[in-house]
């Protein structure tokens, strides 16, 4: 199956901009989606497709894709953005039903 690679930890000062990256061959064919997970909560979709935000997601969250790398950018990070972030995409080795996740990035807001 496909693999997606994320940095395990990233930190950002309050109010600053942070970029979380995700790398994998499947990203050459499919957009990455991004999920936020806070402790003891289910994941929440924050970015999907070509930089789309579900209803209710603040516009400080944005996404981009280039080659085999996808990025989630948080512009003006807030304390409530501290969470684990996971990228995912379609699994290129499967039919349209298969998905793959990155290992997750723990974001600390200082």
State the residues that interact with other proteins by CB under 8 A.
1, 31, 33, 35, 37, 42-45, 48-49, 52, 54, 86, 88, 91, 94-104
Instruction: State how far the Cα of 109 lies from the Cα of 82, in Å rounded to an integer.
Output: 6
The least distance separating other proteins from the CB of residue 102, rounded to whole angstroms, comes to 7
Q: How far is CA 73 from CA 45, 61, 65, 105, 107, in A?
A: 14, 6, 11, 13, 12
Which one, 49 or 76, has the nearer CB to other proteins? 49
Closer CB to other proteins, residue 39 or residue 67?
Answer: 39
- For residue 94, the 8-state DSSP code is S
Between 31 and 61, CB nearer to other proteins? 31
Residue 84: name the closest of 10, 3, 32 by CA.
10
* Residue (77 or 100) nearer to other proteins, CB: 100
Calpha distance 14→70 (Å, rounded): 23
CB of 74 vs other proteins, minimal distance in Å = 18
Nearest distance from residue 68's CB to other proteins, in Å? 19
């Amino acid at each position: 199956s496909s693999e997606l690679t994320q940095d395990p930890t990233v930190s950002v000062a309050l109010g600053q901009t942070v970029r979380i990256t995700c790398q994998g061959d499947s990203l050459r064919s499919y957009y990455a989606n991004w999920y936020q997970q806070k402790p003891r909560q289910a994941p929440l979709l924050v970015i999907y497709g070509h930089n789309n935000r579900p209803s209710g997601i603040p516009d400080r969250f944005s996404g981009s894709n280039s080659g085999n790398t996808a990025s989630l950018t948080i512009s003006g990070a807030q304390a409530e953005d501290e969470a684990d972030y996971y990228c995912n995409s379609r699994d290129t080795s499967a039919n349209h039903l298969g998905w793959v996740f990155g290992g997750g990035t723990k974001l600390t807001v200082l």
